[in-house]
Amino acid sequence: MRTQIILLVDERPHVREAVARPYIEAGARVEALANSAEATELLALVRPDWILVGEKQADELLLWLRDHEDRVDVPVVLLPDLQLAA
């Protein structure tokens, strides 16, 4: 079975760590990035199987995906800003 590639975008390091951990433990490759600029740079090179993105980063990332036909069909899951304590 092929390893799933997950792009995780959230500006909060503790959220990236907490969200990424179970996917990594399940065998996925998680690319955890802090912002949409970093994410779009990676997306130009890698096609993830799906994207997890925090609310604050979603607009810019979704606009980029819309303009790139070879990435527009990548599933995106919006992570709500739950104000988790660090």
Q: CA 81, CA 86: separation in Å to the nearest integer?
A: 13
Domain boundaries, the chain: 5-79
Task: Decide: 71 and 47 in contact? Cβ < 8 Å.
Answer: yes
Is residue 7 a contact partner of residue 33, using CB atoms and an 8 Å limit? yes
**pLDDT tens profile 33-77:** 999 999 999 999 999 999 999 998 999 999 999 999 999 899 999
Instruction: Name the CATH topology of 5-79.
Output: Rossmann fold (3.40.50)
86: pLDDT confidence band, cut at 50, 70 and 90? low
pTM as predicted: 0.90
The predicted-structure confidence for 67-79, as pLDDT tens digits, reads as follows 999 998 999 999 9
Return d(Cα 25, Cα 39) in angstroms, integer.
22
